[in-house]
Amino acid sequence: MIPEQSYTKSHKKDADIHRCGSTGALRGALCNILCILVALVFVFLFSIPDASAQNKKFNVNIGGYLKELGQINLNNDFSTLHYDNIIHHRIESNWKVGNHFEFETDLRTRLLSGYTVEHQPGIKQMYEQDPNYLDMSWVWFDSKYTLMHSNIDRLYASYYNGPWDITLGRQRLNWSRTFVWSPNDLFNNFAYLDFDYEERPGTDALNLQYSWSYASSIQLTTQFGHYWDETVIAGMLRSSLGSYDIQFIGGHYHKDVAIGAGWAGYLGDAGFKGEISYFHPEDQFFNRLGHITATTGFDYMFSNGLYMQGELLYNGGYQKQYAPLASLVQPPSADNLFIAKSGFFLNGSYQFTPLVTGQLGLMSSFDRSIFIVIPQVSISLTENVDLLLLSQLLKGSVLDRVVNTPNLFFFRLKWSY
């Protein structure tokens, strides 16, 4: 989906600076990509199996999809209509070299057009910016009505040997146990309303993992940043306790020390999950108290096939934001996951036929007037073609004040290959 943005004067200044340095940024991005590719080539050359080594192999898998996403935004009396469109292509490549090396490179390219491209100030600069350490995001061209953008969201090399797994590069790190909000996910939190990004963002990091059983491992991860407060260095211990998978996390998270825990298991026949994290400011360690962010959720499958989910959030790091809609469709910080102090989410899904599934979700808050209703229907047209019809109806005084067209309707056709 195309996010709406609210630009303050400081944002405008940053955009102007970025515009002046866009050529240099692109050169820097290409230089970074070239260096990584050269390194991968060297690793590949030194890892090519001998012809006599029958137990080694080289496999390449290429896949991806092409999507057409239309978006209609309407105000409450249906007198104002805005239309946006995205043609989205993704290519995924995976190379396995020998018995211990694996490389992944994924590229997503989107052609955006419509109302938001025409009326959103600084949209080119917004899409050119890459929040990661390496700049691998660029705009091919932009005009008054269209913009074409690409970014590499996976580019990593993995070495695995027995209990060891080491990964370097842009990768997906999932420390989450819950479904919508995740205070344990210090690296790759995601925005639930950004439904069109199923793969979710990656981050530039070095990840080391040692596993001594299927459910037990220790993980040490560094997310690279240009400055200390842009860096995350953390560890996670995972194990099992009875019928529960449990985890403990801790480390440096931007400007805070973070510690937390999470679990996933069952209460009777119902799934029971949760996460809790405590964030304490490093620069005023003895002078200020930190805050807790926690979430817990349940899910249950009824005998008639109805699947229900529910999740509660206490957002201890809540701070008022000037662009609430933008913050709902962009990856949140682990210490501030929502636009309110509290949140809850309810969702029900039912498979009407083997090819048709319907869902109805509600995202809301106990302390602020926020109601987001999310009905959707997904239809499998052929083996590799799917149709999705989805709405996001944004209600409540918090959103009414800042969103002119709060009724969002999407239709998406997806061809996978």
pLDDT digits (tens, 9 = 90+) for 357-388: 999 999 999 999 999 999 999 999 999 999 99
CATH number, domain containing residue 255:
2.40.160.10
Cα dihedral 250, 326, 144, 129, rounded to 10, equals -10
Same domain, 380 and 301: yes
Same domain, 335 and 300: yes
Same domain, 167 and 196: no
Same domain, 26 and 142: yes
Looking at residue 93, its pLDDT comes to 96
In this predicted structure, the answer to whether residue 51 has a pLDDT above a threshold of 50 is no
Closest to 196 measured CA to CA, from 90, 293, 83, 123: 90
Global pTM value:
0.84
Average pLDDT, the chain: 88
Q: What whole-number distance in Å separates Cα of residue 76 and Cα of residue 218? A: 51
The structure tokens listed for 345 are 């989410």
Question: What's the structural domain count of the chain?
Answer: 2
Residue 251 resides in a domain? yes
Over the stretch 229-264, which tens digit does the pLDDT of each residue have?
999 999 999 999 988 999 999 999 999 999 999 999
Q: How confident is the model at residue 4 (pLDDT cuts 50, 70, 90)?
A: very low
Same domain, 257 and 344: yes
Residue 133 resides in a domain? yes
Same domain, 78 and 193: no
Range of weakest confidence among 45-49, 214-218, 346-350: 45-49
Write out the residue range of the structural domain in which residue 49 sits: 9-171
Same domain, 248 and 333: yes
Residue 38 resides in a domain? yes
DSSP 8-state class, residue 50: P
Residue 227 resides in a domain? no
Q: How confident is the model at residue 56 (pLDDT cuts 50, 70, 90)?
A: low
Closest to 189 measured CA to CA, from 312, 324, 345, 336: 336
Residue 233 resides in a domain? no
Same domain, 258 and 355: yes
Same domain, 133 and 191: no
Same domain, 124 and 191: no
- Taking each continuous run of H as one helix and of E as one strand, the counts in the chain are 6, 19
Range of weakest confidence among 47-56, 195-204, 375-384, 391-400: 47-56
Residue 84 resides in a domain? yes
Q: For the beta carbon of residue 168, count every other beta carbon within 10 angstroms.
A: 18
Same domain, 166 and 132: yes
Residue 50 resides in a domain? yes
Same domain, 111 and 192: no
Residue 51 resides in a domain? yes
